[in-house]
Amino acid sequence: MWGGRFASGPDAIMEAINASIDVDRHLYRQDITASKAHAAMLAEQGIITADDAAKIAHGLDTILSEIEGGKFTFQRALEDVHMNVESRLTELVGPAAGRLHTARSRNDQVATDFRLWVRDTIDQLDSALSDYQRALAEKALDHAGTVMPGLTHLQTAQPVTFGHHLLAYVEMAARDRGRFADARKRLNESPLGSAALAGTSFNLDRDMTAKALGFDRPTANSLDAVSDRDFVMEPLAAAAICAVHLSRFAEEIVMWTSPLVGLVALSDKFTTGSSIMPQKRNPDAAELVRAKAGRIAGALTALLMVMKGLPLAYQKDMQEDKEGPMDAFAALSLSLAAMTGMVRDMTPDAARMKKAAGEGYATATDLADWLVRTLKMPFRDAHHVTGKIVAEAAQTGVPLHRLPLEVMRKIEPRITDEVFGVLSVDRSVKSRTSYGGTAPKNVRSQAKRWLKRLEKGR
């Protein structure tokens, strides 16, 4: 490839550290697609002949079939996917293959290939996130009225519904999809034709190749086009945030399925056993999702560190831009599949959830609200009175709805027996009718809205 300048070949160690084929071979489809577009444009502009362009296109199609049929041998001595494809193309079509690289560098070639690959990956992740949202919304609709404890600081706070809890993750996934969509818009410019860094003297039609490859437009600055990796870092940042969301939910599944808590059960499909303890049912799928968040966030950090000190334009450091992100996106895809499966598989213990929702004086806020609404107390005074009533209930060891009325009246004489109408967990959740609240009718409405929206592909 650069034999005219070099008199001898590289040391074996140099060859080993310089080769990227083990990673960038995954770009073969994008590389062939971009090369076909480039060849067609060169012919259209009269830079190469139509006959050579036809030979190149046929040869590239043959190589694609060979790779997908497992008949292609990638050679590490050829460094990367680009030279492996070009070498085989030369064997197939002869001198015409040498014309393919006219007005093109590996710098703009790899930037184009990788943008195409990241764009394809974003589309696949968006579809997976949509499936995940659908599973959550369907489960939420089924359990719009299933009462469970809502927690803050992992302490009982207020009753909510299981459906409301699940819809919180639908909202998170929607933001994840929005971040990926925004990143996709920004990456959808074609670097092809930027050459090594300065553009080219050939009369290219970069709009033609951009359109052929589904890009919105060609990149406007050749230096930026070949040295930019925002198109990887931004989706990777979105992936890291998404992985954190999945990890939070996975952590809850781990807690919920513990016999100490027992709010949710998973079947054999998403649990494993123990080699020594026959009784064990371990939520390993959830635990692995939780762990993979570290790999995904780590890939983002690693790429940020690669890019942080690089002057313009292309540097060999940027060869490290693929392995981590490819691994991270694969890990996220698998995590989404696992979480979607667990959502569909999980079975809540409604009775245990409801019992847990009533523990810890979860309806204390409802009592305070009643004092404000009925007795016209300032909320701070109602908060103080409620605190005293809760302390009395805790001392006598009874839940709020079983504390005798006369005991409450010793603390606040104006309290009537109407107060018991707000102290049950069912009434508590039904009362939370503010927009975005946990009332079952709200949850049903939101779940149906999401299912309708997802049905339309949004």
Catalytic residues: 153, 274
Listed in sequence order, the residues at least 6 apart from 32 whose beta carbon sits closer than 8 Å to its beta carbon are 60, 61, 63, 64, 85
Distances in whole angstroms, Cα of residue 302 to Cα of each of 53, 154, 239, 305? 40, 33, 14, 5
Q: How many CA atoms lie within 13 A of 402 on its CB side?
A: 8
Residue pair 144/444 in contact by the 8 Å Cβ criterion: yes
Listed in sequence order, the residues at least 6 apart from 437 whose beta carbon sits closer than 8 Å to its beta carbon are 164
Query: What beta strand segments (E) does 172-329 contain?
Result: 189-190, 217-218, 264-265
DSSP label of 101: T
Dist CA 110 CA 146 (whole Å): 52
* φ, ψ for residue 432, nearest 5 deg: -85, 70
Dist CA 272 CA 155 (whole Å): 29
Region of residue 442 (phi > 0: left; psi between -120 and 50: alpha; otherwise: beta) = alpha
DSSP label of 378: -
What is the rounded (10 degree) CA torsion for 355, 358, 359, 363? Answer: 170
Six-digit token string for 317: 């450091």
Dist CA 15 CA 79 (whole Å): 8
70: exposed, middle or buried (Cβ count in 10 Å: 0-12, 13-18, 19+): exposed
Six-digit token string for 58: 């046929």
What is the rounded (10 degree) CA torsion for 293, 299, 300, 306? Answer: 160
Six-digit token string for 323: 């392995």
Long-range contacts of 58-67 (CB under 8 A, 24+ apart): 58/93, 59/88, 59/89, 59/92, 59/93, 59/96, 59/97, 60/32, 60/35, 60/36, 60/85, 60/89, 61/32, 61/36, 62/92, 63/32, 63/88, 63/89, 63/92, 64/28, 64/29, 64/32, 67/28
